[in-house]
Structure 1
Amino acid sequence: MLQQYKTIMVAVDGSNEAELAFKKAVNVAKRNQGKLIIAHVIDTRAFQTVSSFDGMLAEQATEMAKQTLDEYLAYAKEQDCDQITTVIEYGAPKQIIAKQLPQEHHVDLIMLGATGLNAVERLFIGSVSEYVIRNAACDVLVVRTDLENEEVKKAD
């Protein structure tokens, strides 16, 4: 029996890797006649100060996320993907992408871009994709290639 994914979630953060994952997720959703969830998680820990939460930075991040999601939504519609939901969440991206959103939306495939974190950053904060791979209850696909499955050359 052929595996068919009904609800595909792609996590986007504005990076080139996330955009590759998004474009492939659009194709997977179309091919499976499934629902596409485009999710962006704003890491609120980045806005914490010693005394308080910086609301203005959070508002700017939200506005940028909305613009990015609007662009992704327009692209997906141009590609004849018709079941699309966009989601902005606030908190720890690892937990929200791996557990909260998949449970809320009955996701059966999570797609993410390969992270560009270096070894030191991974040691201290860990990669989101690594956490999602280890903790999600559904299938996870980490995208490393473009739409033609060609390796993406990184700028030096």
Structure 2
Amino acid sequence: MAKESILVPVDGSESAERAFDKAVRIGQRDGAHVDVLNVIDTRQFMGEMQDTLISGDTIYQMTQDSEEYLKSLKKWAHDNFNFDDVDYHIRYGSPKRIISYDFIKDHHDTLIVMGATGLNAVERMLMGSVTEYVNQHALADVLIVKTDMANNPVKPTIKKN
């Protein structure tokens, strides 16, 4: 039997960090691998004619910032739980599609652990939340995190650099 894998999509929000905390604890408890994923939503860079509105340098900087953030999460898992079975990934495109389908197909994660809300309130109002979409369409089971491991409301525990 293959080792279980957990996908944790993160966007820098407190809710996503709670999900990462819970996924690491589940991974440690169950001997599962954790894939932490940041999706850079490229749709926000497109103009009406589908041309790119920002420079390659800006996209490069966003990628660098994402990588530093993901590295800090991996370090946090090691420092706080001595848990090192974490890989981080950056993808570009629609977060809804990548989290629900593409990443799961590529990495065969059996559980998605994600926060109840993310950073993008405008998208949530206009198109529905990523969490709601993933919960309804994902190719894996979905755990939506609102609390800590004891089911108590939590304060942020992961500090960004």
What SS class does the counterpart of residue 82 from structure 1 fall into?
coil
The Cα shift of 1:103 comes to 1.2
Structure 2 unmatched runs, 5+: 156-161
Q: Once the two structures are aligned, what percentage of the paired residues are identical?
A: 41
Rounded to whole Å, the distance in 2 between the matches of 1:83 and 1:152 is 24
Report the equivalent of 1:67. 68
1:121: how far off? 4.7
Q: Please tell me the root mean square deviation across aligned C-alpha atoms, in Å.
A: 2.0
- 1:52 equivalent in structure 2: 52
Indicate conservation of the 8 Å contact 1:41/1:93, yes or no.
Answer: yes
Q: Structure 1 residues 47 and 57, CA, compared in 2 at 3 Å: closer, same or farther?
A: farther
1:13 match: 11
- The equivalent position to 1:32 in structure 2, one of 18, 30, 33, is 30
Distance in 1 (alpha carbons) for counterparts of 2:14 and 2:59:
22
Q: Which amino acid aligns with 1:82?
A: D
Moved over 4 A (4+): none
Any idea what SS the aligned residue of 1:10 has? strand
Equivalent position amino acid for 2:128 in 1: G
Q: Tell me how far 1:151 sits from its aligned partner.
A: 2.1
What is the 5 A alignment of 1:144-155? 144-152=146-154
- Distance in 2, matches of 1:41 and 1:144, equals 21
**CA deviation profile, 1:111-156 (whole Å, cap 9, x unmatched):** 11111566x7534221101111111121100101134421247xxx
TM-score (norm 2): 0.83
Give the letter for the 1:88 counterpart: I
Aligned residues: 148
State the distance in 2 between where 1:72 and 1:123 align.
28
Q: Which has the higher contact order (CA 8 A, sep 6+)?
A: 2
Equivalent pair of 1:44/1:58 in contact (CA under 8 Å) = no
